[in-house]
């Protein structure tokens, strides 16, 4: 038998128009508030607040509403569901505890933590450090300049050159790759430089 979807729509609401559930049992300590706010600032708002259209109560996302109010956000994304009062109460009682039952795949988590970038945000760094500790992992301490020099050598001038990134259509990219084949140069950087010089000479002439 197929699951019955209780999601009936999506929209945007002013945070001050959303009603906290009177049965909401979650208390959000300061570090959790700081962590969520830092994550939203870094990534953006990617998870809607769930609202039961029958009662108008927030079912999931109370802290997101609190943070939006604190920041004077004009509106936030909302997902509307249709739940009876009994179903709403069950959802309130189970959403977070069920998520908390997950256990980490430590090797995979280690790969994620090795690659993730927090923008040097101390709150997110602490959050991930705590997560690593809980999973029996540890973050390597940042390498010193001497250690980096021993591993990679001293940078040359080219390492400090600016980087150009531009998004183009597939046809333009194909034409660019074809042009590179016709240019002299040991690598793409030298060929691109030759292409720029040729274009500059053509414009000057």
Give the range of the structural domain holding residue 18, as residue numbers without chain letter: 7-100
Q: Indicate if 108 and 119 belong to the same structural domain.
A: yes
Q: Indicate if 114 and 196 belong to the same structural domain.
A: no
Q: Indicate if 161 and 191 belong to the same structural domain.
A: yes
Does residue 30 fall inside a structural domain? yes
- CATH (domain of 16): 3.90.1530.10
72 Ramachandran zone, left/alpha/beta (phi>0; psi -120 to 50): left
C-alpha span between 70 and 29 (Å, rounded): 15
Q: Indicate if 82 and 13 belong to the same structural domain.
A: yes
C-alpha span between 9 and 57 (Å, rounded): 15
Provide the total of helices (H) and of strands (E) in the chain, helices listed first.
8, 4
- State the total domains in the chain: 3
Q: Indicate if 46 and 75 belong to the same structural domain.
A: yes
C-alpha span between 91 and 58 (Å, rounded): 11
Q: What's this model's pTM, rounded to 2 decimal places?
A: 0.64
SS3 (DSSP) at 21: coil
Does residue 148 fall inside a structural domain? no
C-alpha span between 94 and 100 (Å, rounded): 10
Q: Indicate if 110 and 192 belong to the same structural domain.
A: no
Q: Indicate if 180 and 137 belong to the same structural domain.
A: no
Query: Rounded to the nearest 5 degrees, what angle is found at the Cα of 200, between the Cα atoms of 196 and 205?
Result: 150
H or E element that contains 63: helix 62-70
Does residue 147 fall inside a structural domain? no
Q: Are 32 and 72 in contact (CB under 8 A)?
A: no
Q: Indicate if 25 and 110 belong to the same structural domain.
A: no
Which residues of the chain are modeled with pLDDT < 70?
A: 138-143, 205
Q: What is the pLDDT of residues 97-145, one digit of tens each?
A: 998 899 989 889 989 998 999 888 999 999 998 888 888 886 556 667 7
Q: How far is CA 125 from the centre of its chain?
A: 14
Q: Are 106 and 133 in contact (CB under 8 A)?
A: no
C-alpha span between 161 and 159 (Å, rounded): 6
C-alpha span between 92 and 59 (Å, rounded): 6
Q: Indicate if 37 and 55 belong to the same structural domain.
A: yes
CA atoms within 13 A on the CB side of 143: 8
Does residue 149 fall inside a structural domain? no
Q: Indicate if 82 and 22 belong to the same structural domain.
A: yes
Query: What pLDDT sits at residue 139?
Result: 52
Query: What pLDDT sits at residue 43?
Result: 94
């Amino acid at each position: 038998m197929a699951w019955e979807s209780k999601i009936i729509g999506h929209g945007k609401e002013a945070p001050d128009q959303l009603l906290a559930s009177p049965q909401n049992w979650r208390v959000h300590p300061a570090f959790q508030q700081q962590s969520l706010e830092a994550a939203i600032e870094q990534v953006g708002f990617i998870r809607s607040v769930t609202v039961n259209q029958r009662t108008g109560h927030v079912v999931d996302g109370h802290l997101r509403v609190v943070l939006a109010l604190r920041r004077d956000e004009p509106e936030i994304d909302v997902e509307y569901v249709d739940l009876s009062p009994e179903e709403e109460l069950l959802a309130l009682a189970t959403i977070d505890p069920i998520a908390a039952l997950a256990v980490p795949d430590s090797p995979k988590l280690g790969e994620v933590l090795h690659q993730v970038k927090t923008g040097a945000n101390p709150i997110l760094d602490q959050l991930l450090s705590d997560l690593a500790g809980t999973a029996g992992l540890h973050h390597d301490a940042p390498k010193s300049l001497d250690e980096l020099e021993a591993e990679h050598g001293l940078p040359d001038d080219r390492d400090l050159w600016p980087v150009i990134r531009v998004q183009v259509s597939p046809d333009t990219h194909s034409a660019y790759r074809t042009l590179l084949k016709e240019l002299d140069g040991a690598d793409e950087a030298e060929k691109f430089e030759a292409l720029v010089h040729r274009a500059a000479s053509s414009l000057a002439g």
